[in-house]
Amino acid sequence: MNRRPAEERLLDFGEVATGLSEDSAVLEALRCMGCPKPLCVDGCPVSIDIPGFIKAIAEEDFRTAARIVKAENMLPAICGRVCPQEAQCQGTCILGKKGKPVRIGDLERFVADWERENGVEAPETAPATGKHVAVVGSGPAGITAASECLRAGHEVTIFESLHAAGGVLTYGIPAFRMPKDIVKFEIGQVLGLGAELKLNHIVGRSVAVDELLAYDAVFIGTGAGLPYFMGIPGENYSGVYSANEFLTRVNLMHAEKFPEFDTPIIRGSRVAVVGGGNVAMDAARVARRLGAKVYLIYRRREDDLPAREEEVENAVQEGVEFVCCANPTKILGGPEVQGIECNRMDMCELDESGRPIPRPCTGEGSIFTLDVDVVIEAIGQGPNPLLAGLIPDLKRGRRGNIEVDEDGRTSIPHVFAGGDIATGAATVIWAMGSAKKAAASINKMLAEN
Amino acid sequence: MKRNQIADNIFEYWINAPHVAKNGRAGQFVVIRIDEHGERIPLTISAIRGDDVRIVFMAVGKTTHQLAALEEGESIQDIAGPLGTPSEVKNWGRCAVIGGGVGIACLPILARELREAGNKVTGIIGARNEGLLLLEDELRDACDELVVCTDDGSKGHHGFPADILKEMVAAEALDAVWIIGPAIMMKITSFATLDTDIRTFVSLNPIMVDGTGMCGSCRVTIGGETKFACVDGPEFDAHQVDWDELMNRQRTYTGQEKESLERYHEHTCRCGEKK
């Protein structure tokens, strides 16, 4: 994917990746061998007919290409941007064995962007069934479940606790990776199928549990929004943020435009981001755009970073300094942050995931401090506890996630769940994949009743 | 929205919000956003009547000044709620509900629920002066008895609600107490029940963003453990609260808040001149 130069993109929140032109999309599409047993489709959590849509692009029939993609995925412009294709469809592409795989993600994005600019065709929906489905949460999982249930002819009401739809697409992923007009547009397409969206409604509070359970079917997609903290001294000083808070202040509340927008943020002159996932990269890159020198502290080696390679590259290009094999032990200062104390880590034997277990070094030089005035913790999120905890018969796992079978069924017969609330924190596309399965179960159940 | 000014610089707004009114209880709050550029601010539910929810606020920062400038019938962009865990309302026996400043506004709904649960409820309200007292008549009605205090003696008891609370504690006349007001007032007033068996609740007001447990901005230390005021609270055991930390965190954006307010005043003045 082509990217805007780092020095230019640091000045704004505009999109970094620039997308394919029609000509280059067709050329790229022509590389696809159209395997009779396409492995790429196996690698896609929502089972898009990948060779089918790529063939249509090669034939310059972009309308058909869009139709094929949207048969399985109503959020293609979003997925084309944030799916980890290298670990999914492109990871299994046969061309990748000897050379470069087909740039399936870029092609998906191209098709979606082309359709958005050239007029969108609404998918067909089945005749109204008179059944009513409640969807809790309007993130990737909720929107996907809603679109599947709407297409099956059911009435759908989506409840969202925030003032804007989109979940993590809106509050979590920054605009330079996921432009907000695109999120609005694609969610608008789903709402356009006839969903009722109720913003500012907290299910379990605004909508009581018995009101929720009165729907013919319920899909819970409340996500993994509960930020974990490290539990080290100094964590509650002013200037220590969870990545969720830092990103929400900017992405949802536009704190980067303070005082034009009312929500403030501490910009920091030197910022430490703790963690190595995509969220950590997002936080680090936002902090760079707010003008800070940024350190990213990660306890393993750079090679072990769980973030997408592309995001790590972007962060490096944008001047984020990686401090690897280090783990924070204390935040210094009070009441404001003045620094962060870290312990260097030894890489020991490999764990089940094949990564080395980091253990704190001892002895001289193993403790060092960084002079920072903001600390952002991006060490993971747990399932949102609020609703799941208020439904007495709903079986939950050890971490508080809702237990589901492989078809998205919970311990309550007409209640289904998908996305991070069921699987634990994962990717947008995995949330969509599990929501799609749950929605298929809902549609099957409602058809039988 | 219906509005009234009920004390110096203090306003009550009745907002039509059926989704909040339906299940809202004492101790819970709403998060509001005035317009597309607005911040999300939490405000405790003061009363509920039909589909309407009452909030009470003092114009201190940019957002509350802007809110105060709305006219009757105008709307705000968003109101989310009810949020937070409701007050622990049960038959405690003898309760005191204590309000300081704007915190007084949180008492009517609480006093009513406590009385419905069979408690004898004493209201104690305090403000700097008579002009800052609010909802006195309503609370006289909602409580079994009401004691009014002013710091300057301009009305009622010359002194603080803590003085009255101390007398009640000494007389062994209490089983549970709620103290709601500025952090420093809650901290100092709650000393009166230290080393007693009287359950003492305070309603914490840290800075929040989403108010649904998602960001951790409102984290407070309760008995050495980190809690999120928005979902685990906002009411906690007064004697477990790390008050200094709370007050430090409340001051995080003092500079920006000042900048924002100055900009707002400048802007409204200029608009006034044009007219």
β-strand partners of A369 = A341
Residue ranges of E strands in B17-167:
29-33, 41-44, 47-49, 52-58, 78-83, 94-100, 120-127, 145-150, 157-158
The answer to whether the beta carbons of residues A424 and A399 sit under 8 Å apart is yes
Asked if residue A308 and residue A198 are part of one domain, the reply reads no
Which residue, of A118, A142, A157, is where some domain finishes? A118
- Which of A205, A384, A390 to mutate against chain B (most B CBs within 10 Å)? A205
Nearest in space to A19 (alpha carbons), one of A88, A122, A116: A116
Q: A263: exposed, middle or buried (C-beta count within 10 Å: 0-12, 13-18, 19+)?
A: buried
Same-domain pairing of A218 and A317: no
Domain identity same for A297 and A433: no
State pTM to two decimals: 0.94
Q: Does the pLDDT value for residue A348 go beyond 70? A: yes
Residues A322 and A266 in one domain: yes
Does some domain include residue B105? yes
3-class secondary structure per residue, B94-117: EEEEEEEHHHHHHHHHHHHHHHHC
Chain A residues touching residue B252 (CB < 8 angstroms): 238-239, 266
A235 has a chain B CB within 8 A of its CB: yes
Query: Are residue A278 and residue A354 in the same domain, yes or no?
Result: yes
Residue B274 lies in a domain: no
**Prior bond of A335 cis (ω within 30°):** yes
A80 located within any domain = yes
> Do B37 and A239 make contact, defined as CB atoms within 8 angstroms?
no
Partner A, chain B 79-108, Cβ-Cβ below 8 Å: 79-83
Question: B212 vs A162: CB contact, 8 Å cut-off?
Answer: yes
Cis peptide leading into residue A306 (ω within 30°): no
Amino acid B271: pLDDT: 62
Query: Are A274 and A362 within one domain?
Result: yes
Contacts 24+ apart (CB under 8 A), A168-171: A168/A139, A168/A140, A168/A223, A168/A225, A168/A428, A169/A78, A169/A139, A169/A140, A169/A428, A170/A251, A170/A252, A171/A244, A171/A247, A171/A248, A171/A251, A171/A252, A171/B210, A171/B214
Measure the CA–CA gap between A303 and A347, rounded to whole angstroms. Answer: 12
Residue A52 domain flag: yes
Which is more confidently placed, A334 or A245?
Answer: A245
- B230 and B144 in a single domain? The answer is yes
Q: Residues A277-293, buried b or exposed e (16+ Cβ, 10 A)?
A: bbbbbbbbbbbbbbebb
One domain for residues B54 and B183: no
Q: Domain span at residue B72? A: 2-83
CATH code where residue B44 lies: 2.40.30.10
User: Hey, is the C-beta of A389 within 8 angstroms of any chain B C-beta?
Assistant: no
Answer yes or no: do B111 and B220 share one domain.
yes
CATH code of the domain containing B143 = 3.40.50.80
pLDDT at position A152 over 50? yes
Q: Is residue A214 part of a domain?
A: yes
What's the mean pLDDT when you consider all of chain A? 94
State pLDDT tens for residues A24-55: 999 999 999 999 999 999 999 999 999 999 99
Tens digit of each residue's pLDDT (9 = 90 or more) over A414-433? 999 999 999 888 889 989 99
As a dihedral over the C-alpha atoms of residue A38, residue A41, residue A42, residue A47, rounded to 10 degrees, the angle is -150
| Residue A201 pLDDT | 96
pLDDT value at A93 more than 90: yes
The answer to whether B18 faces chain A, any CB pair under 8 Å, is no
Residues B165 and B226 in one domain: yes
Residue B27 and residue B72 in one domain: yes
What's A340's domain CATH number? 3.50.50.60
A249–B contact, CB cutoff 8 A: yes
What are the distances in angstroms from CA A11 to CA A8, A182, A242?
A: 6, 21, 24
Whether residue B227 lies inside any domain: the answer is: yes
Q: Which residue matches tokens 């997308």?
A: A19
Mean pLDDT of A255-263: 95
Q: Chain B contacts of A235, Cβ < 8 Å?
A: 226
| B163 and B100 inside one domain | yes
Do both B46 and B158 map to the same domain?
no
Which of B210, B228, B230, B247 should we substitute to test contact with A (largest number of A Cβ atoms within 10 Å)?
B210
Which whole number is the average pLDDT over B57-80?
A: 93
CB contacts of A335 in chain B (<8 Å) are: 245, 248-249, 251
> At A293, which amino acid appears?
K
Which residues 6+ apart lie within 8 Å of A27 measured at CB? none
Asked if A199 is an interface residue toward chain B (Cβ–Cβ < 8 A), one would say yes
pLDDT of residue A73 exceeding 70, the answer is yes
pLDDT, residue A1, reads 64
When pLDDT is averaged across residues B243-251 and rounded to a whole number, the result is: 95
Query: Tokens in use for A126?
Result: 């089945």
Q: Are residues B167 and B190 in the same domain?
A: yes
Identify whether the C-beta of residue A418 lies closer than 8 Å to the C-beta of residue A438. Answer: yes
Is the bond preceding residue A259 a cis peptide, omega within 30 degrees? yes
Which of A379, A408, A439 is the last residue before a domain boundary? A379
C-beta atoms of A263 and B214 within 8 A:
no
Kindly state whether residue A125 falls inside one of the protein's structural domains.
no
Residues of B within 8 A of A227 (CB-CB) are 214-216
Instruction: Compute the average pLDDT of residues A210-215.
Output: 95
Find chain B residues with C-beta within 8 A of A253's C-beta.
39-40, 209
Which residue in the set A206, A244, A266 is minimally distant from B81, CB to CB? A206
Does B139 lie in the same domain as B230?
A: yes
Give the whole-number percent of chain A exceeding pLDDT 70: 100
Three-state SS for chain A is: CCECCHHHHCCCCCCCECCCCHHHHHHHHHCCCCCCCCHHHHCCCCCCCHHHHHHHHHCCCHHHHHHHHHHHCCCHHHHHHHCCHHHCHHHHCHHHHCCCCCCHHHHHHHHHHHHHHHCCCCCCCCCCCCCEEEEECCCHHHHHHHHHHHHCCCEEEEECCCCCCCCHHHHCCCCCCCCHHHHHHHHHHHHCCCCEEECCCCECCCECHHHHHCCCEEEECCCCCEECCCCCCCCCCECEEEHHHHHHHHHCCCHHHCCCCCCCCCCCCEEEEECCCHHHHHHHHHHHHCCCEEEEECCCCHHHCCCCHHHHHHHHHCCCEEECCEEEEEEEECCEEEEEEEEEEEEEEECCCCCEEEEECCCCCCEEEECCCEEEECCCEECCHHHHHHCCCCCECCCCCECCCCCCECCCCCEEECCHHHHCCCCHHHHHHHHHHHHHHHHHHHHHC
Distance linking the first and last C-alpha atoms of chain A? 48
A228 φ/ψ sector (left φ>0, alpha ψ -120 to 50, else beta): beta
User: What number is the average pLDDT over the span A54-64?
Assistant: 96
Q: Which pLDDT value is given to residue A285?
A: 97
pLDDT score of B137: 94
> Does residue A371 share a domain with residue A239?
yes
Mean pLDDT of A170-198: 94
In chain A, the number of structural domains is: 3
B37·A254 Cβ contact <8 A: yes
| Cα separation, A142 vs A157, whole angstroms | 10
Q: For residue B271, what are the contacts with CB-CB under 8 A and spacing of at least 6? A: none
Q: Which residue of B has its CA nearest to A257?
A: B37
Any A CB within 8 A of B252 CB: yes
pLDDT per residue over A116-140, tens digit each?
999 988 888 999 999 999 999 999 9
Mean pLDDT over B181-190 rounds to 96
CA closest to A245 among chain B residues: B215
Judgement on whether residues A75 and A142 belong to the same structural domain of the protein:
no
Q: Interhelix angle for A104-118 vs A180-191, to 10°?
A: 70
Task: Name B166's Cβ contacts closer than 8 Å, sequence gap at least 6.
Answer: B192
Nearest neighbour of B80 by CB, restricted to A200, A236, A335: A200
Average pLDDT over residues A183-187: 94
Residue A1 lies in a domain: no
Domain assignment present for residue A124? The answer is: no
Residues of B in contact with A260 (CB under 8 A): 37
Residue A253 at interface with chain B, using a CB cutoff of 8 Å:
yes
Tell me what the mean pLDDT of segment A379-388 comes to. Answer: 89
Q: Quote the CA–CA distance of B33 and A103 in Å, as a whole number.
A: 42
Partners of residue A296 on adjacent β-strands: A273, A322
pLDDT at A363: 87
CA of B156 to nearest chain A CA: how many angstroms apart?
38
Final residue before a domain boundary, out of A354, A379, A404 = A379
B221 lies in some domain = yes
Please tell me whether residues A235 and A201 are part of one structural domain.
no
What's residue A342's pLDDT? Answer: 97
Q: What is the arithmetic mean of pLDDT over A301-328?
A: 94
Average pLDDT over residues B87-94: 96
Q: Give the pLDDT score at A354.
A: 83
**Has residue A211 got a pLDDT over 70?**
yes
Residue A127 domain flag = no
In a domain, B266, yes or no: no
Looking at the domain assignment, is residue B22 inside a domain?
Answer: yes
Mutate to test the interface with A, among B209, B243, B253 (most CBs of A within 10 A): B209
**Is B77 in contact with A163 (Cβ distance < 8 A)?**
yes
A449 touches chain B (CB under 8 A): no
pLDDT, mean of residues A367-379? 97
> Which single residue is written with the structure tokens 């199928």?
A193
pLDDT given for residue A404 in this prediction: 94
| Mean pLDDT of all residues belonging to chain B | 94
Q: How far apart (Å, rounded) are the C-alpha atoms in residues B16 and B75? A: 9
Same domain, A331 and A440: no
Cα–Cα distance for residue pair A199/A203, rounded to 1 Å: 11
Nearest to A236 among B20, B213, B219 (CB): B219
Residue B88, CA atoms < 13 Å, CB-side half-sphere = 17
pLDDT value of residue B274: 44
Q: Residue B213 pLDDT > 50, yes or no?
A: yes
The answer to whether B214 contacts A225, with C-beta atoms less than 8 Å apart, is yes
Residues B75 and B180 in one domain: no
For residues A272 and A232, give the distance between their C-alpha atoms in angstroms, rounded to a whole number: 15
Regarding whether B131 and B229 lie in a shared domain, the answer is yes
pLDDT of residue B275: 39
Q: Which domain holds residue A349?
A: 229-379
Q: Is residue B256, in this structure, part of any structural domain at all?
A: no
The answer to whether residue A49 is domain-embedded is yes
Residue in B39, B248, B263 closest to A263 by CB: B39
**Are B213 and B137 within one domain?**
yes
Instruction: Give the torsion sign (CA, B111, B117, B121, B124).
Output: negative
A235 shares its domain with A221 = no
**pLDDT confidence of A406, banded at 50, 70, 90?**
very high
Distance linking the first and last C-alpha atoms of chain B: 26
- The residue of A211, A229, A232, A236 whose CB has the most chain B CBs within 10 angstroms, and thus the best one to mutate to test that interface, is A236
Same domain, A90 and A13: yes
Residue that is written with structure tokens 């393993």 in the block:
A300
- Whether B27 has its CB under 8 Å from any CB of chain A: the answer is no
User: What residues in A contact B267, CB-CB < 8 Å?
Assistant: none
Q: How far is B58 from chain A (nearest CA, A)?
A: 18
Count up the domains in chain B and report the number.
Answer: 2
What is the count of residue pairs from A and B with beta carbons less than 8 Å apart? 127
